[in-house]
Every structure is written in structure tokens, then in C-alpha cells.
Structure 1
Amino acid sequence: MTGASSDLMDAARAWMLRANDPAFTDWDGLTRWLEADPRHLPAYERALEEDAWAGELADAANRDAVHAPSESALPRRAARRRPWVALGGAVAAAVVGVTVWTMAPDAPASNVYVTALGEHRSIALSDGSRMEINGDSQVTYDPDTPRMVTLDRGEAVFEIRHDEANPFVVQAGKARLIDAGTVFNVVNDDGRFEVAVAEGAVIYDAGRQPVRLEPGDALVRMGRDGAIELRKADPANVGAWRDGLLQYDDATLTIVARDLSRTTGTPIAVSPVARDMHYSGTLAVEGPASDVFARIGPLLGVTFRKNGKGWEMTPRDGAIR
């Protein structure tokens, strides 16, 4: 693909991403762009085809993750409604969806950032955006498509330099997050997906009806096929793990343990009798692991016991709450 062709496809994809925002109103601008050059409409239609293909791939991957389901039990991708805009005899699709960026065969290899338990990394991206990666996480970034990253697993905060003509996309499992000038935190951890917005707005798109999240909004999905739940978050505390704070609203201790492991760098298991216990509140996790566990154990209603190379959480005095 030549540089000019690549720029044209980038512009077509960018219009798709903008139009995917439920708050999008610039249909006249989209129409003008489509009419400005005879190459624009074919590029736009190609972008639409890529989007449909991407949705099929996401659904296929999701089905593969489910153990031996019946065909009737498989989730079906909702049909994408595409309004048509007449353009002087030509027809252009006004998008409802997002796309997958493709990489030329001779493009540079992607950068894969992997952090160990307890390791935090701050990465400046070439477009002026920044991502801060929590421990035990992996993020893939292709310099050839600098406005897209993939959170393969773990947790990261993204501080995005807004570009209305070329929105930033974070892929996390089957979900795509499209920024609108944003600071937001994302968790993609073994079927658990969470996003919370501190600034700007994010459009959550997992192949069905997109959801727009404003500052103070959070979205949670437990399990790859789980229903989404909308919650509220304090914008000032989004990504508070960077300051040694972990915040929860009725979270299971299994989730708390995974977050503690990722942030403190110490493997933590949960005893079977404690897995269904819940916690709401804030945990301060700065300092040596043994001191942290002694401090937060009473808040969680557990005792931290040394277990080989890691620790195990067990209910205090055998009590379960």
C-alpha cells in the first residue's frame, strides 16, 4: 500500500470511528468528505467491510473460548444498521461500528510491553499520548498504527492526545474503546473487563450497541459473555493504583487478590472458603508486602499466611462474610 493510499484508508477509518460515537452529529461533514474525491467512497466501503470482518473474528474468538456450547447458546452478533446517505447518484454508508487497522507486509514489528508482578511502566507514544502499565500486564503497540494499542492482559491507564479526525483505539479482548480526548483506566484480566473514565469520553464497542462513557462513568463485564454493568467512579481516583491505592465496590476477594498480586509484586492465593467473600472500600498498598498485608488484613476480614513463594488469604477466625 502506498503512502497516499494508506493515508486515504486512515482517513476513512477515522470517519468510521468518529461516526461510531453515539453523540456524533457531523453527518454533513462526513457527506462532504465522501463527495470531495471519487476515491473516498470506495475507501469508506472497504473500511466498512473490514469492520464487518473484524466483528466476525471477535465473535469467532469468543465462541472458541466457551467450552462445548450448543449452537443455540452461542451469542449472535447483532446486525449493524447502516443508514444510507444519497450523494448525487452515489450511495455512501454512514457507519455504525469500528474497524481493524491492517499492517503492510513490510511494516515494522509490533512493540510488546510486558511487566512483571509489581512492575509499573510509563510509555510515551509517538502521537503524544501516554500509557502507564500496571504489573503482570501486556500491551501491544504497532508504530505503524500509532493511534491503536491492544491491552492483551492486565491493567493500564491511558492519557490520550485527542485528535477528532483520528480517534485513538484501545482493543481489550472483544471490546474496543474509542477515545474522545480521554484519561481512562482499563482492566482486561482473565474474562474480567473494566473501564473507568477520568476525563473526556470513551465509546465502548463490543459488537453490539456502543456505550458512551463520560467522566465518572465506569463499565464492568465479568466473563467473556457476561452482561455489562454501568457504575459510578470518582474521576479523581481513576487509576489510583499508580498512587498505591486500590478501590472496590462489592468486589470478591478473588478479584482483590489478583489486583494485590499485580500491584505489590507478590503472588497471592485465596483459600476456597474465602473466595466468595466481598469487600467495598479503599486499600493502601504502599510499602513492604508483609506490612501491607498486616495493615489490610483486618479490613478484608482475612489473615495473610505465608505459602511457599507467595501468600494465602484465609478468613479471620474462620468467619465468612
Structure 2
Amino acid sequence: MSAQTEIREAGRLWAIRVQDPAFDDWDGYTAWLEADPAHLAAYEAALDDSDWGAALLASAPVEVAAEPQARRWWLPAGAAAAAAIAAVGGWSVIDRDAPAQQIATAPGEQRMIDLADGSKLALNGATRVILDPDTPRHVVLEQGEARFDVVHDASDPFVVMAGGTRLVDAGTVFNVVQDGDALQVAVSEGAVIYAPGPDEVRLAPGDTLTRDAKGAKPVVGKASTQAIGSWASGALHYDNASLGQVARDLSRSLGKPVRPAPGTEARTLGGGTLMLGGSPDQVLARAGPLLGVRFVAEGEGWTMSPADGPPR
């Protein structure tokens, strides 16, 4: 994808976002506009497009929901009927002729999406992405967790924008978590190039990359390829995971907050495979003896701490 095409697509994505009544990233929007004079031109061109911009500005965005607490699609009101989104069960298919779309999952919800190029995208709970069928191999992860199963095409690399960073596919299955300014990338198959350029980092199967904040130095580690993105298959695989990591994973998958007890976030827990089926109480009942932890109900969620005795 050329730099000019990237700027044009970014302008369209910003045009979509700022029409959302809940939009509050004005500092980010302003910073993007000021970074390059071409950005304002791309934004205005998106609004001036007779077929796309008119529909976008016709009215405020509306939410189209198939059922309560299920998939949510934010589309320009004038373009909602033209989006041609086919959904069956937990799977959604994005039509090439649809406009750019913001897709979000509710807390605790998982959604699977078939992209036009044959790639597959799995969204975990409380996740938001932007997809444009005109550029099906370019996805923006705005927040949350997503697993990408990419059909490799060396002539047209698959790009994920997350936390202001480009992640380029090199034929792969990989998992990305964006939590505020923090970013985590883990590769199950193939390879991913983090921030292509002079300081790029190439991640192979089993490699992980963690960046605590924008501008922070990324830290590369290792993980079991079986564990990477396993939530999309209804299970969480652990091997000496920290209590903080498990708490974050459970919070996304259950849709309710699980917090580590104060001072225990870095504590290493036991390993095993935790199945996510059933109610949150049933999942936590299995997690306790498996990982050697105990859960105490607190408000709408739970506090998790190491159990007495060695983990099992």
C-alpha cells in the first residue's frame, strides 16, 4: 500500500470516527491533522466524496444490533442499508461494496469475521476495530484483543494498525492486544514485522512483544504457540503466567472485571488449560484449583489472589 493510499484511508477512518457522538479523541485527531498538510486534504476529500461523504454526513451514526449484548455495528445512517453485512451465528462476512465500518463487541462477547480476501478475524470482549472493504488487508485495532488468521500475499501485505504502530504480516496467525497505550503482539504461525523500518522487530512463531506505552522500548519474549490466541477456541492455556495476565484475560473473556489482589500482579501462577464454557462462576470454579488461586466477589467482579499452599 502506497503512502498516499494510507493517508487517504486514514482520512476516511477519521471522518467516520469524529461523526460518532461518543468520540472523544480530539487530541489524537488534532495531532494527526497537524502531522502533515496532506492529512487535512485527505480528511476533506473523504467528506467531499459524493457517494461516501454524503451518506456519512446525512445523519449521526446509528447502532445496528442483531440482539441485546451481541454484535454491534456503527455505520453512517445513510449507508446502513448499503453495508450488506451477512451474519450467521457468531460469524460475520464483510461485503466488498460496503463502506468503512467500526465493529465493536460487548464485554464478554466474541465475534468471528470473514474478510473478503479469505483472512479471518476473531474479536474478544470489549474490542473495537475499523474495517474498510475497499482495503480488506488493512485493519485498525482501536482497543481490545483480536486474533488474525491471515492469507499471505507477498505482493499485498496484511497490515494491522494498533496503538499507532504498523504490524505487517509475513504469512501468519497472530494475536494483538491494545489496552490504552500498552500493546502486546504474539505470533502463533508465520511471522509479523513490528514497526517496519530501521528499528523494526521481526517476530517468529512463539515470539511475543510487549510495549508498555507509546515511545517505550518493546520487550521481546517467548510463549507457547498453543497458548497464543487460544481464547478464540474457547480455552486459555497457561504455563507460569502472572496473576495480572490471567486477571486481564479473564476480564476480557468473562465481560466482568477480575482484579489481582494488591501487590500480587507479578506473582507467577500454575499452568494448565482453562475451558471458558459456562457461566462466569463456573469458569472461575475451574480456574481456582487449576491455577492455585482463589476468587472473592467484589462489586460487579472479583478479586483474585494466590491460594494457600502450592499452585496446582
Q: Aligned equivalents of 1:244 and 1:262: distance in 2?
A: 12
Deviations along 1:58-91, whole A, 9 cap, x unmatched? xxxxxx89xxxxxxxxxxxxxxxxxxxxxxxxxx
| 2:286 pairs with one of 281, 295, 300 | 295
1:285 lines up with 2:275 in the alignment = yes
TM-score, with length taken from structure 1 = 0.62
Q: Which residue of 1 aligns with 2:106?
A: 116
Q: Aligned equivalents of 1:291 and 1:237: distance in 2?
A: 21
User: In the superposition, relative to structure 1, how do residues 319 and 208 fare at CA in structure 2: closer, same or farther (>3 Å)?
Assistant: farther
Deviations along 1:152-193, whole A, 9 cap, x unmatched? 111111111222211110011022111122211111123332
Q: SS of the residue aligned with 2:271?
A: strand
Q: Structure 1: which amino acid aligns with 2:194?
A: Y
| 1:253 pairs with one of 231, 243, 248 | 243
Kept after mapping to 1: 8 A contact 2:271/2:291: no
| 1:203 pairs with one of 185, 193, 200 | 193
* 1:9-158 correspondence to structure 2 within 5 Å: 10=1, 12=2, 104-105=45-46, 106=49, 107=52, 109-158=99-148
Q: Which residue of 1 aligns with 2:207?
A: 217
Which is further off, 265-274 or 110-119?
A: 265-274
Deviation at 1:304?
A: 0.8
User: In the superposition, relative to structure 1, how do residues 143 and 224 fare at CA in structure 2: closer, same or farther (>3 Å)?
Assistant: same
1:307 lines up with 2:298 in the alignment = yes
User: In the superposition, relative to structure 1, how do residues 302 and 232 fare at CA in structure 2: closer, same or farther (>3 Å)?
Assistant: closer
RMSD over aligned Cα, in angstroms? 3.2
Which is further off, 151-160 or 109-118?
A: 109-118
Kept after mapping to 2: 8 A contact 1:245/1:282: no
User: In the superposition, relative to structure 1, how do residues 243 and 313 fare at CA in structure 2: closer, same or farther (>3 Å)?
Assistant: same
Deviation at 1:264?
A: 2.1
Q: Which residue of 2 aligns with 1:272?
A: 262
Deviation at 1:205?
A: 0.6
Q: Which residue of 2 aligns with 1:180?
A: 170
Q: SS of the residue aligned with 1:257?
A: helix
Deviation at 1:210?
A: 0.8
Q: SS of the residue aligned with 1:292?
A: helix
Higher relative contact order (CA 8 A, sep 6+): 1
Q: Aligned equivalents of 1:315 and 1:240: distance in 2?
A: 23
Kept after mapping to 2: 8 A contact 1:151/1:170: yes
Q: Aligned equivalents of 1:142 and 1:224: distance in 2?
A: 25
Q: Structure 2: which amino acid aligns with 1:221?
A: R
Q: SS of the residue aligned with 2:269?
A: strand
Q: SS of the residue aligned with 2:216?
A: coil
TM-score, with length taken from structure 2 = 0.63
Q: How many residues in Structure 1 have an aligned counterpart in Structure 2? A: 230
Q: Structure 1: which amino acid aligns with 2:299?
A: G
Kept after mapping to 1: 8 A contact 2:103/2:128: yes
Deviation at 1:280?
A: 5.4
Question: Structure 2: any 5+ residue segments left out of the alignment?
Answer: 11-26, 29-41, 54-98
Q: Aligned equivalents of 1:177 and 1:122: distance in 2?
A: 20
Rg larger in structure: 1
User: In the superposition, relative to structure 1, how do residues 198 and 319 fare at CA in structure 2: closer, same or farther (>3 Å)?
Assistant: closer
Deviation at 1:303?
A: 1.8
Kept after mapping to 1: 8 A contact 2:269/2:306: no
Q: Aligned equivalents of 2:208 and 2:125: distance in 1?
A: 21
Question: Structure 1: any 5+ residue segments left out of the alignment?
Answer: 1-9, 14-45, 54-63, 66-101
Kept after mapping to 2: 8 A contact 1:273/1:315: no
User: In the superposition, relative to structure 1, how do residues 309 and 206 fare at CA in structure 2: closer, same or farther (>3 Å)?
Assistant: farther
